[in-house]
Each structure stands twice: as structure tokens, then as C-alpha cells.
Homo-oligomer: A and B are copies of this chain.
Amino acid sequence: MCQLLGMNANTPTDVMFSFTGLATRAEEHKDGFGIAFFEGAGLRLLVDHHSARVSPVAELVKRYPIKSDNVIAHIRKATQGRVALQNTHPFVRELWGRYWVFAHNGDLQGFHPRLHGAFRPVGDTDSEHAFCWLMQELAKAHASVPGVDELSATLRELVPQVARHGNFNLLLSNGEALWAHASTRLHYLVRRHPFGHATLHDEDLTVNFAQQTTPDDRVAVVATEPLTDDEAWTPFAAGELRVFVDGATAG
């Protein structure tokens, strides 16, 4: 199974610590990785078909403190689709003058809706097909860019139509909010004042967030498996869709 990592913060925050934790799990997820950073409306997307353990692009992510308010990362173990750059998550499309970023883990079976809109897959994964369908249906449901609450309501109608075809653990962001849906496995936590220490589960690395933050900072982190040992991660219920805005759960 692939691994997902999402971050939503009320102040631009780097994800070097969390990504390092994710990348150590890349041994068995050797079929590439990708990470998308929103900086306001702008987007930085780093992808590589090499494992996040050895990729020079991953090395950059671990060392270069890219400050972002919304991040989606994915390390891939190919189930459907060849190992190729066009099959590497996250995927990006533009809708209503905003970038939308999507990453998925899990398998979909028999989900082949007709794509009659402006969104077509470039690669050959079930994931990108599902993303294009979500974008098409969002575009049909709203004439222009709706608020986060309206988007969440539409997604609560759309996502189950995909999820009944298999495992649909997904992260989606437009730079304003982070939506996360779990079919099987997803966990989240919110880091806020008073900040403490956190120790990575897979690597001997501890960070003291109190040294890097102000009392007003708030950061939500979503991951397939808890990344740290000494923080309280909340598992998603099966079929649960959560939306994070300004580092907190909303809606």
C-alpha cells in the first residue's frame, strides 16, 4: 500500500520532519514519490520515479525548508499503472483559477466513469481517472468557485460513489483547505500551543516544536500511519471525510 502525508497550517510551515519520517518507509514503496507544496495560490510539485530513500529530489525536500500552508505527499507502491512519471502522485489540475492537488492510496475496481468534461488522465492509473472524475463533477456542481463548506458538501456526495469501488484513501487540496477521506487507513493530529517534543516512529529523530513555533501556530497533519510515537493520533473511521482549514478540523 502507498503512503499518504498531508499538512494544513495556519502559518507557512515546513514538512522536513514529517517527510523524513515518511521517506524512511519508502524501502518497500520504491515506485516513486511526489510532494506538492502550496504557497498561497502558487504550487510547487516535486516528483521522482526513484524511491524517496535515495532520490536527490527527496534529499532536497528533507534539507530545503519549503514553507507551505498546504502540503500533499505520496510514496508509491505501484498496483495499477506502470512505474512512470505520469503515474506518480500527486496529480494537479486547474479549476476556477486555482490549482487542485490529489493523491490516493488503495485500489479501485470497475470504476470507469465516462469523462466528458475538461479533465483527462495523462497516465494510466485508476487514481488519476478518479481525480479527473471528481474535478469534472465539482465543475458541474458549481458555476464558480464555492466556499469550503459548499465544496465539502459536494465532496460528501461524490466521494462515496468512488469509494464503493474499493479503497479510496485520498487527500485533496486547493491551497485553501485540505480534504481527507479514509476507506481503510488514515490518521490525523493537530499540533498547537503548548508545543512539545515529537519523535519519529521509524527513525531516531526528535524535534522540539516549541523552539520553532509561536503560540498562535496550528498545524494539522494527516498520514496513513502515525508518524510519531509520542503524540496522540486519531484514526479516521471507515468512510469518514474530514476537512482541515487553518490547521484545524472544520465542517
Which residues from chain B contact A93 at a C-beta distance below 8 Å? 94
Say yes or no for A46: interface residue by CB 8 A criterion.
yes
A63 to chain B, nearest CB (A): 8
Q: Is the interface of A mostly helix, strand, loop or mixed?
A: mixed
Residue of B nearest to A139 (CB): B118
| A95 cross-chain contacts in B, Cβ below 8 A | 120
**Interfacial residues, chain A to chain B (CB-CB below 8 A):** 39-48, 56-57, 60, 63-64, 84-88, 92-99, 117-123, 139
In the docked arrangement, what's the CA distance between A29 and B98, Å?
Answer: 26
Number of copies: 2
Known: A44-B47, A118-B118. 6 other contacts (CB 8 A): A39-B85, A41-B84, A43-B86, A43-B122, A60-B60, A97-B120
Q: Is the CB of A57 within 8 A of B47?
A: no
Cα-based distance from A99 to B39 in the complex (angstroms)? 22
- Contact: B120 with A42, CB < 8 Å? no
Say which residue of B63, B64, B87, B94 sits within 8 Å of A119 (CB atoms).
B94
Query: Are B120 and A41 in contact (CB-based, < 8 A)?
Result: no
Contacts of A63 in B (CB 8 A): 56
A86/B122 in contact, CB under 8 A: no
Closest residue of B by beta carbon distance from A56: B64
